[in-house]
Amino acid sequence: MKKLNHQQTQQLAKEVLKEESAAIEALCNRVDDLFIQACETLLNCEGRIVVIGIGKSGHVGRKIAATLASTGSPAFFVSAAEASHGDLGMVCSDDVIMLLSNSGQSDEILTLLPSLKRLGVPLIALTGNQDSELATNSQFNIDISVTSEACPLGLAPTTSTAAMLAMGDALAISLLNARGFNEQDFARSHPGGKLGKRLLIKVSDIMHTGAQVPAVNQDSSLKQGLLEVSSKGLGMTTIVDQNNVLLGIFTDGDLRRALDKGLDVNNTCMRDVMTKDCQVAHTHQLAAEILEEMEKLRINSLPVVDDNQQVIGALNMHDILKAGVV
């Protein structure tokens, strides 16, 4: 089994992080008028932002395209190699092209330039070589050059890819801010994520309805109420009138109070043990808001009512947690 020299490893790792952070810090001086012009071009793009790269720049390009797409700027990635064999057909005249190449001399990228120019699409380059063919043939060339790679051999793209990714993030977040992109917008493109669920899932999406909603009338016996609580499994039952208007609820807390008083389950009516002024939920409310309210009030179940106070559903904390809201 191979062993590491702990001290040497820690020192090298720190040097890598310091070198890459310094390179990213140096990019601040390159956020200039050209950067602003590139942002404005991307902001006013009527089509999509097409990110093109090859090799390690291609991997970075996939991430930049994903970040742009998820923050309000429609974008996708195309491999330069695949673009020259048909995938360039994905590009439309109203798109904006972002070309990534640290050297600015990648053959696969340069091969595409004549075709892209014929399309008349704006070209934004992220390169580390300002005299390269890519830099001089792009309307906007953003300088991402670094003094050296963190790789001790000076071969593996490390500092350069970190700088490229950071500049891509700077563009994406600048566009996010310019578009007024907010949490709700983010949630719409992330329906499967935690944030998306917190901002998208409403009470109507997870509540129990129809025969699943526990309900008895106020003249029902306490025993009948307990059977309803037990059979529906929500930890409570609603008490409604003949028009299904909510009169109150009965929970395990109400049961404990009834037992403390020694009440007969057969001869006690629900009207005498129910909680009249109870909390309710509405279909349009976010499940996350209801969860916060339930935690604050230390309650586990809620009836759902419409504008006429008619019971249309019910839910408990387990339903919200099961939906993945938290």
Tens of pLDDT, residue by residue over 299-316, are 999 999 999 999 999 999
pLDDT of residue 4: 87
Task: Tell me which residues of the chain have a pLDDT lower than 70.
Answer: 193
DSSP conformation letters of 138-174? SSEEEE---S--SSTTS-S-SHHHHHHHHHHHHHHHH
User: Which SS3 state, helix, strand or coil, does residue 204 take?
Assistant: helix
In the chain the beta strands, taken as DSSP E runs, fall at 49-53, 75-79, 96-101, 123-127, 140-143, 215-217, 236-240, 246-251, 301-305, 311-316
pLDDT of residue 152: 84
Which pTM does this prediction carry? 0.73
In 175-281 the beta strands, taken as DSSP E runs, fall at 215-217, 236-240, 246-251
Q: What is the Cα–Cα distance from 10 to 151, expressed in whole angstroms?
A: 15
Using only C-alpha atoms, the chain has a radius of gyration, in whole angstroms, of: 31
pLDDT of residue 259: 86
- Residue 186 host element (H or E): helix 183-188
> Contact, 81 vs 107, CB < 8 A?
no
User: Which SS3 state, helix, strand or coil, does residue 323 take?
Assistant: coil
> In terms of CATH, what superfamily is 6-181?
Glucose-6-phosphate isomerase like protein; domain 1 (3.40.50.10490)
CATH assignment of 203-322, among 3.50.50.60, 3.40.390.10, 3.10.580.10, 3.40.190.10: 3.10.580.10
pLDDT of residue 83: 93
Q: What is the Cα–Cα distance from 141 to 129, expressed in whole angstroms?
A: 10
pLDDT of residue 123: 98
Domain residue ranges in the chain: 6-181, 203-322
